[in-house]
Structure 1
Amino acid sequence: MHQADLAIYAAERRGIHDARRHDPGVVEESLQPARNRQLPAIFLRKGADMDVRNGMGLRPLGTSAAEFEQDLLSNLYYRRGTTVESASTQDAYETLALTVRDRLAERRVRTAAAQYAANPRWVYYLSAEYLLGKQLEQNMLYSGTDRIARIALRQLGLDPDEVTALDLEPGLGNGGLGRLAACLLDAMATLDIPAVGYGIRYDFGIFKQDFQDGRQIERPDDWAFQGNPWEFPAPDDQQTVFFYGHTEKDAAGRTLWIPGEVVFAEPSHMLVPGHGTDTVNIVRLWRARGSHSSFDLSRFSAGQYAEAVDEAVHAENISKVLYPDDSTESGRELRLKQQYFLVSSSLRDIIRRFRLRNSDWTDFPKKTVIQLNDTHPTLAIPELMRLLVDEEGLSWDLAWAITKQTFAYTCHTLLPEALETWPVHMFERLLPRHIEIVYAINEIFLTEVRNRFPADLDRVRRMSIIQEEPERRVRMANLAVVGTQAVNGVAELHSRLLADITLRDFAELWPEKFHNVTNGISPRRFVKMANPALSDLITEGLGGDAWITDLDRLAGLEPLAEDASFRLRWREVKQANKVRLGLGDPASLTDVMIKRFHEYKRQQLKLLHIITQYHRIKQNPGQTFVPRTVLFAGKAAPAYHAAKHIIRLINAVAATIDADPAVSPYLKVVFPANYNVTLSSLIIPAADLSEQISLAGKEASGTGNMKLALNGALTVGTLDGANIEIRDRVGADNFFLFGLDTPAALELRNGGTYSPRAYYEQDGELRRALDAILDGKFAGVGREVADSLLGWDEYLTLADYRTYVDAQDDVDAAWQDTESWTRRSILNTARSGFFSADRTVRDYASEIWHVTPVKVTR
C-alpha cells in the first residue's frame, strides 16, 4: 500500500474526520468533535516518538533526492494515476506539488497538535483578498526540498524549469492590501503565532490585463482551470449563509431572521508554512454553493436548461470574481453579499474552533482576536452580535462586551471616497436582521457621545454610524471603530492623520484605541526568492543567512558600502537582474513605477516628466543624456475611466518615443501587461530608481516602496505614507525628495485658491508637455488627462511638477557617479531592516493582539 494511502488508512482507524483531505493533523478541526476531549496519546509522546508518521507506523518522508524521487513516483502512480512514460508536464507539476505538500502536511500535523494542547489565544485574520503569489517555489524553499526536488526531476528525465513554470498565482488578491495580508500570514507562521487567515476562494481573479490599441482590456483570470494542488477541499465542513427575508419575534420575544435565500459556504484551506520553524498555519477560503434543491430537474427536463440552474448560478456568483464591477446596482449588491458571505462563514468556523477546548463565553475574547483587514470584513461585528444574541442566547450587554473585546481594525485609507459606505435600503433588503443590530449599536454609541459632548450636535452627526444626508448610508469605518478594541494605521504619518483628520472625533473620544503598526514585507519572498543573487551576496557579506528571519542584521552591510570590490559585485548583481528582466540596454537607469493605477498615485506626473525629457532630447540634438528606461506596471479598476485614460496615454507616449530614432537611444518607456507577484519579482531586483510620488497625505503606507528599497533601489518621492520612514532610516542623502508636504498640500487644496492653469502658464516645460497632449502629438490620445489636470487637478500634479522634474535632474547627476550611486544603493538595503513583516507582526502581537507564540517541536 502506498504511503499516502497508508496515512489515510491509519487516520481513518483513529476516527479522524475526512482524512482524505490529507491533513490528518488538523487536530483542532478534526480529531476533537467534542469539547475538552483529551488529545490522543500519539500526540503526547516526546522525543523521537513525536514524529507523527512514525507513530502511525509510516516511513518518514525522505530528505534525500533518491527518497524524494521515490515519493514523486508513488504520487504519480497512485494520486495522478499515470506513469513516467505517459505523464504530461502538467502531471509532473501536479505530482511535484503534491510531494512538496506532503512534507508541509507532516509539519501541519505537529503544529495542530501543539496548538491544540496549548489552547492559546488565536489570531483570526479576515481579509477580502490575499495576493499569495506562486506557491511551489516558496513551499520548496520552506520545506527544504528545493535542491533535492530538482535533482529528482532530472533523474526522471524531466526539466525542472519546465515543470515549475506551470505553477500559477492563486487569483485571490489584487494589490497592496492582499500582498500585505500574505506577508503577515507568512510572518505569523515564521514567528510561531497560532493564526488562521480567512478569505474567499474566488473562481476568477480580478482580471488578466491586456492592451489593445494601448487601451486596457480585461480578460478572465481563470487561475484554477487546471485545479489547485495546494488546497485541501472540505465540502463536509460547509457553513450555511442567509440573505434577504425578514425578521419576526417568537413567543419568548426573541428576534428570528427568516431568510429569503440560503447559500452554502464550502471551505478549503491552503498551508502557510513558516521559514526556519516547523509551524504551518492555514488560510481557509470559502466558495459559494447553491442549496441542494437549486437544480430544477423539471425545468431541465422541459428543455429550460438555463432556468434549471439559475438559482445555483445566482448563489455561486458570490465567489465568482474578486471585486466585481460595482458601477451598477447589482454589482454593488454582489460586493456586499461577498462581504457578508466571508464574515458569516468565518465566524461560524471561529466559534466552532473555540468550542473545541472552551465552553465559557466570557473566555471568547481571551482565546480569540479577529483582525479586520480594512472595512471589507466589518460586517463581522453585527454578525457576531447576531450569533451570540439570536443563536446562543446571550444577553445584549454580554454579547456587546465580548464583541468589542474581540475585534481589531486596520484602516488602510485616508481618502474620504474610499471610506466604505452602503445604502441603508440595500442593507435592509439584503441583511434585515443586521440593520436592526446596527441601529441598536448606533443608539448605544450615540448616547455615549451625547453624554461626553452634550452641546456638540455636529459631532454626533459626524460620528453616527448612519449617514443621513444626502442619502441614508451605513458608514462601515465608523462601525469598525465603534465595535473594536483597537484601531491602527499602517505608517507613522497615516496613523497620525487618521487620528488628527479622518477619524479625529473617534480619537478624541477613545485615544487609547488608536495605534500605529507600520507595514512590512516578507524578505523571504522579495529578496531570498525574488533576488537570489543579491541574497547570496548579502549572506556572504554578513557571514550567514540569519538575516532572512532577522532583517535588522542587514545593518552589517554598511561597512561593506565602502569596499570597492563589494560595490563592484553589487553592481554585477543588479546588471544580471536587468538582463534577466530583458528591457533592452542594461546599462541604462531603470526607473520603475509599479502600483495600482489611481490618480492620487500620480502616474500622470511621471508621464509629464517623460514628455518633458522627450522634448529636451528633441530640442538638443547632439547633446548626451543619461539613458533611462522607464517601466510602468499596474492595473486600473475596470470602471475607473480616468485611470484607464492614463494607461492609454502612457502606451501612446511609449510608442511615439520608440519610433523616434533621435530619442529612443536615451529614453525608453515599457509597460508590461498583467502586473502580479511573479512579474514584480522580476522587476524589483532590476530597479535602480523607485517612483513613490503620490500626493502627500493620500497614501496610507505602500509596500512596493519597501520592496524596492530593500533590493537597493533609490527612492524619488514625496513625504507620504511610509516614504517618510524610509527616508528617515536610509538617510536623506539616499532619497530624492520633492513636492509639497501634507500641511502645505492641505492648505493649497482647501484654501480655494489653487489654479492649475497658473502653473501651466508660468512654466514653459510644463506648458509644452501639456500642449503636446492637447495637440494630439501622441496618436491623438490623452486629451481627457490634460483637461482634467488643467481643469481641477484633484491631486496637485501641476503644483508638484517643477520640484519633481528638478529632483529627476538630481537623479541624472547622481547616476553619473557610479561608485556613489552604488554606495547609496547598498545603504538603502542595509538600513531597510525595519520594514520586515516579522517586525510588523511582532508589533501587532505585543500592542494589539496580546498573543504569544506556540513552538512546534519534533
Structure 2
Amino acid sequence: MIYIACNTPWTAGVREGLDADGPLGSDRKDSDVTDDIATPDASVPDFLATPSVAEVEALRQAIRAKLVYQVAGREERANARDWFQAATLATRDRIVDRWRAANDETAAQGHRRVCYLSMEFLIGRLLSDALGNLGLTETMRQALAGLGVDLEDVFAQEPDAALGNGGLGRLAACFMESMASIGIPAIGYGIRYENGLFRQLIQDGRQREVPEDWLSLGNPWEFQRSGIFYDIGFGGHVTQGPDGAMEWHPGEVVRAIAYDTPVVGWRGQWVNTLRLWSARATDPLQLEAFNKGDHIGAQADRVRAEAISRVLYPGDDTPAGQELRLRQEYFFASASLQDMIRRHLRMDGDIATLAAKNAVQLNDTHPAIGVAELMRLLVDLHGMEWERAWDIARATFSYTNHTLMPEALESWPVALMERMLPRNMQIIYLINARHLEQARAEGLIDGQLSSVSLIDEQHGRRVRMGHLAFVGSHKVNGVSALHTGLMKTTVFAELDRACPGRIVNKTNGITFRRWLMRANPGLTRLIVDTIGPRVLDDAERLEDLAPHARDASFQAAFAQQRRVAKEALAKVVQDRTGIVVDPAALFDVQIKRIHEYKRQLLNILQTVALYNAMRAQPMGNWAPRVKIFAGKAAPSYHQAKLIIRLANDVSKVINSDPTVRGLLKVAFLPNYNVTLAESIIPAADLSEQISTAGLEASGTGNMKFALNGALTIGTLDGANVEISERVGLDNIFIFGLKAAQAVAMRQDGYDARVTVAGSDDLQEVLRAISDGVFSPEEPDRYRGLVEGLLAHDSFLVTADFDSYVAAQHLVARKWERPSEWWRSAVMNTARVAWFSSDRTIREYADEIWDLPVR
C-alpha cells in the first residue's frame, strides 16, 4: 500500500455532525435526576458546608439511576465497585455542561489555548478530586450513606491511573488542575497506557515488576472519541514531486484514537481536557492467514501497533526497546499536533495564525520530535514556505527542561531515526544546518559549533532531542532558580550563548487542593478554623498562620492532626509490610523514584550508623524513629534495584533486633503511587530531600511535605534552595556540599577511600554491609556495591555522609523539644504558599504563553 501520511483533510478523522472538542456521549438519560442539584455556595468550604436535604436526595436519585441504567446493577446486590461506577457517572454528569461551556467560550472568544505535551500524567484517583473541586464531597457522602454505602469504601475502588512514574507526571497533573482552576483554556496530550508503569511487588526484599492493569475493569471517567483519529506513519521512503514538494510514503501506518477525560478546576468554574491517544492497527487482522491456521502471525500487525500504548517506559536497553520508545514519542506528538491543527482550522480557518491561537509546551524531551513534525505538517501538507513555517513553529513551542545530567537528555541514533522517520530526519538536518549558520554568525567557532549541533558526532552519531527542543522553542525554562542558572553553565551553556535570553526560570509548584485539602482534611479544617476560609481560594493567606506558630494551644492542635495522620499511616505500614510502628515516633520519610543521584543509599548508610550507635550505647537518650522508604526502580536499573534490596535487608535485621527495643524501625512500602503518597505525606515529620547538589532540577515532593508541616533535611539542591529562603534556615536542616563544590570535587577527581579512611562511623557501616551483616545467607551480596562506591562515588555519598549524620543529630535534638519542633512545623506550612502551581502557571501564562489569566 502506498500511503502519503496525513494528506487528508481534518474532517476525515472526525465523524460528520459531531462536536469534536465538546464532551460527547455524556450518557445522560431521561431517567437521570441531576438538574435539581444546586451549585454549592462558593463562600463555604466543602467540608464545612451542610448540603440541603433536596441536594442530597437529588444526587442519591442520580446515583440510583446510574446504578440501574448504566451499571445494570441492583441496589440490594451492588458491591463497592458498582457503587463507585454509579457515583462517578453521576459526578461526571455534573461536569459535562461545564466542560461544554468552557469549550464553547474558548471557541467563541478566540482564546489562545495551551497544548501541554507530556509522556506522563500521574493523575491519581479522580473521584475525590472532582467532588472536592465541585464542592460535592459532603453531598456525595450523605447521598451514599442513605443507600448504606460508605464514601471512603467507594473512593478505595478507584485504581490509580498508571500514566506516570514520578515528579514529571505529577507536575503535569498539578499543572492541568491549576490551568483549569485559574481558567486557562488547555488540553493535555499524552498516551493512554493500558498497563502504564509496572506494579511493584517486594518479594524476598527484591523488586518484582508485574503489569498494572488499571483499565481491566474499565474507566468511567473517560470518553472514547471513536470519531477522532489520526494515522501515524513509520518507515517507508520520501520522494520529491515535480513541484519540489516532498512526499513521505510510510511503510507502516498506526491509528491514534482519542480518549478524553475532564479536568475540573477549583469551584468547578472551568473544565479542561486531558486527551490521551490509544494505538490501533489500521488492518488489525489478516483473516486469510488466520483461517489457514497462522493465528499468531495473522495478528502481528495489531500486536506491533498496540504495543505503542501498552506500557509506559518500556525498557530501552535493547534496540527493540529503543525503537518502541521512539515510536511512542512520535506517535503521541504527531497525533497531538495534527489534532491541534485540525481544531485551529475549524475555529480560525487560517493556518498562518496557528501560533497566535496555540501555545505548545513540551514537558521534557519526550515530545521534542514534535518540532520536526510540526515543520513537516506545515511545509509538506499545508504548502508553507520554510522560513514562515519556522517562525510559526518557534512562536508556538516552548520547552521545559527537567535534568542537568547529560546522559538523561534523550538522544536517538541517526540510523534509527532515518529508518523510522525518514522525512523528519531530513527536516532535522535542515534545521541543524540553518541553526549552525546562525550560531557561526553569532561568533561561535568550530568546537563550540559541535556542542550546539543537533547531531552529536562524538558518540556514534545521535540526534540530541534536548537541543532540538531548545532550538525549536521561543522559550526554554528550568524548574527552580538553581537549576535554571546551572542550565546556562552546563548542559546548554553554548546554546545559551548562541540564543541569549531564551532560558527563563519557572520554579515548580503543586496544587494545594490535592496536597492539602484532599490529602490532609484534618489540618485544612484547623487552618480554616484559625485564619478563615479565604485561604481555600488564596494560598497567600497561609502566611496568617505565622503568628500562631508560638501559641501552645495551636501547636497542640497541629500536633494532634499529625498524630491522627500517623496512626492512619501506621495501619497502612502494618497492612502492607507486617511491620508494627509507633505513631509517637519521629516519622522520617524518603519517597521518590529510586535513583543513585537521589541518594536513598545515603539514607540507608545513616540508618545503619544509627543502628550501630544504638547498640553501642543501649542506655543512650535515643529519640524513637521510623524510617519509611517508597519508590520504584526502572526494571533495567540494576543498581537502583540493589539499593531497594539493601533497604529491605536492613529493615529485616533492625526490626527483629531486640537490643534496639523498638526505638528504630525501617519500612519499605511497595508500589508507591499518588494514593500512597496522600497517606504518607500528611504523616511525615521529616522530609528527606538529599540529592547530590546540582543534580535535582527542582523536586515537588519537598513542597508537598513542607506544606503539610514536615521539616526538610536536605542539600541546597533544586527547589530546596528556595524553600530554605522562604521558611528560614532555623526551620530546615541543610547539610552537605553545595552545587559548585560538588562540581569542583568531581572535576578534581574525588577519592572516596580517603574520605572513608577519615570517618570511623562510615568505615564501620560499609564494613558491616560488605561483610554480609544484613545478608547473612549471601555474605557477598553487597560487596560489589561497597567496592563500587569506594572506587567511583559519582554522587558523593561518602563525601556528604558525616555532614548528613550531624544534621540528623540536630533533628533528634529538636524532636526532643516539642515546642521548638512544632513552631518550625507551623512555619513550614505558613511560608510555602509561593510554591502553589497556580503561581507557576500564572508565570507561564504571562511570560511564556502570552495568555491572560482570569
Q: Please, what TM-score do these two structures have when normalized by structure 1?
A: 0.92
Q: Give 1:667's match in structure 2, choosing from 664, 673, 686.
A: 664
Q: For the structure 1 residues 204 and 59, does the alpha-carbon distance in structure 2 shift closer, same or farther, using more than 3 Å as the test?
A: closer
Shift of 1:625: 0.8
Shift of 1:114: 1.4
SS at match of 1:562: coil
Residue in 2 that maps onto 1:212: 203
Q: Give 2:24's match in structure 1, choosing from 18, 21, 44.
A: 21
SS at match of 2:194: coil
Q: Give 1:290's match in structure 2, choosing from 263, 272, 281.
A: 281
Residue in 2 that maps onto 1:615: 612
> Which ranges of structure 1 fall in alignment gaps of 5 or more residues?
1-11, 26-52
Structure 1: distance between partners of 2:107 and 2:22 = 18
1:787-806 alignment runs, 5 A limit: 787-806=787-806
1:833-844 alignment runs, 5 A limit: 833-844=833-844
Structure 1: distance between partners of 2:23 and 2:267 = 28
Is residue 572 from structure 1 mapped to residue 575 from structure 2 by the alignment?
no
Residue in 1 that maps onto 2:214: 223
Contact 1:138/1:525 (CA < 8 Å) preserved in 2?
Answer: yes
Q: Give 1:768's match in structure 2, choosing from 755, 764, 769.
A: 764
Q: For the structure 1 residues 548 and 788, does the alpha-carbon distance in structure 2 shift closer, same or farther, using more than 3 Å as the test?
A: farther
Is residue 244 from structure 1 mapped to residue 235 from structure 2 by the alignment?
yes
Q: For the structure 1 residues 72 and 501, does the alpha-carbon distance in structure 2 shift closer, same or farther, using more than 3 Å as the test?
A: same
Structure 2: distance between partners of 1:145 and 1:61 = 13
Q: Deviations over 1:349-408 (max 9, x none)?
A: 000111122123331111111000000000110000000011011111111111111100
Shift of 1:24: 9.8
Q: Which AA in structure 1 matches 2:852?
A: T
Residue in 1 that maps onto 2:699: 702
Shift of 1:306: 1.1
Residue in 2 that maps onto 1:778: 774
Q: Give 1:395's match in structure 2, choosing from 380, 385, 401.
A: 385
Q: For the structure 1 residues 149 and 391, does the alpha-carbon distance in structure 2 shift closer, same or farther, using more than 3 Å as the test?
A: same
Q: Give 1:516's match in structure 2, choosing from 495, 500, 505.
A: 505
Residue in 2 that maps onto 1:550: 538
Q: Give 2:527's match in structure 1, choosing from 527, 538, 553.
A: 538
1:600-639 alignment runs, 5 A limit: 600-639=597-636
Structure 1: distance between partners of 2:88 and 2:195 = 21
Q: Deviations over 1:684-740 (max 9, x none)?
A: 001110111111100000000000011001111111000000000000111111101
Shift of 1:278: 1.4
Is residue 472 from structure 1 mapped to residue 461 from structure 2 by the alignment?
yes
1:677-688 alignment runs, 5 A limit: 677-688=674-685
Contact 2:88/2:221 (CA < 8 Å) preserved in 1?
Answer: yes
Is residue 676 from structure 1 mapped to residue 651 from structure 2 by the alignment?
no
Structure 1: distance between partners of 2:278 and 2:262 = 17
Residue in 1 that maps onto 2:148: 157
Shift of 1:81: 2.2
Shift of 1:19: 8.8
Q: Deviations over 1:81-109 (max 9, x none)?
A: 23213333322111111000110112112
Structure 1: distance between partners of 2:496 and 2:546 = 40
Contact 2:845/2:853 (CA < 8 Å) preserved in 1?
Answer: no
Q: Which AA in structure 2 matches 1:60?
A: D
Residue in 1 that maps onto 2:11: none
Structure 2: distance between partners of 1:22 and 1:664 = 60
Contact 2:596/2:795 (CA < 8 Å) preserved in 1?
Answer: yes
Q: Which AA in structure 1 matches 2:374?
A: L
Contact 1:658/1:664 (CA < 8 Å) preserved in 2?
Answer: no
1:193-208 alignment runs, 5 A limit: 193-208=184-199
SS at match of 2:515: helix
Structure 1: distance between partners of 2:687 and 2:784 = 27
Residue in 1 that maps onto 2:4: none
Residue in 2 that maps onto 1:409: 399
Residue in 2 that maps onto 1:66: 57
Residue in 2 that maps onto 1:364: 354
Q: CA RMSD in A?
A: 1.8
1:57-136 alignment runs, 5 A limit: 60-63=35-38, 64-136=55-127
Q: Give 1:745's match in structure 2, choosing from 720, 728, 742.
A: 742
Shift of 1:236: 1.4
Contact 2:197/2:313 (CA < 8 Å) preserved in 1?
Answer: yes
Shift of 1:111: 1.2
Is residue 180 from structure 1 mapped to residue 145 from structure 2 by the alignment?
no
Residue in 2 that maps onto 1:378: 368
Shift of 1:76: 1.7
Q: Give 2:183's match in structure 1, choosing from 166, 182, 192.
A: 192
Residue in 1 that maps onto 2:431: 441
Contact 1:578/1:686 (CA < 8 Å) preserved in 2?
Answer: yes
Contact 2:716/2:739 (CA < 8 Å) preserved in 1?
Answer: yes
Residue in 2 that maps onto 1:718: 715
Contact 1:519/1:703 (CA < 8 Å) preserved in 2?
Answer: yes
Shift of 1:548: 2.7
Structure 1: distance between partners of 2:67 and 2:647 = 48
Aligned residues: 810
Residue in 1 that maps onto 2:160: 169
Is residue 599 from structure 1 mapped to residue 596 from structure 2 by the alignment?
yes
Structure 1: distance between partners of 2:826 and 2:493 = 40
Q: Which AA in structure 1 matches 2:767?
A: D
Shift of 1:253: 1.9
Q: Identity across aligned pairs (percent)?
A: 44
Structure 1: distance between partners of 2:106 and 2:824 = 45
Q: Which AA in structure 1 matches 2:801?
A: Y
Residue in 1 that maps onto 2:850: 850
Q: Please, what TM-score do these two structures have when normalized by structure 2?
A: 0.93
Structure 2: distance between partners of 1:248 and 1:15 = 36
Q: Which AA in structure 2 matches 1:760?
A: V
Contact 1:295/1:308 (CA < 8 Å) preserved in 2?
Answer: yes
Moved more, 152-161 or 138-147: 152-161
Q: Give 1:419's match in structure 2, choosing from 402, 409, 425.
A: 409
Q: Give 1:309's match in structure 2, choosing from 296, 299, 306.
A: 299
Contact 2:842/2:853 (CA < 8 Å) preserved in 1?
Answer: no
Q: Which AA in structure 2 matches 1:418?
A: A
Structure 1: distance between partners of 2:213 and 2:59 = 31
Moved more, 159-168 or 317-326: 159-168
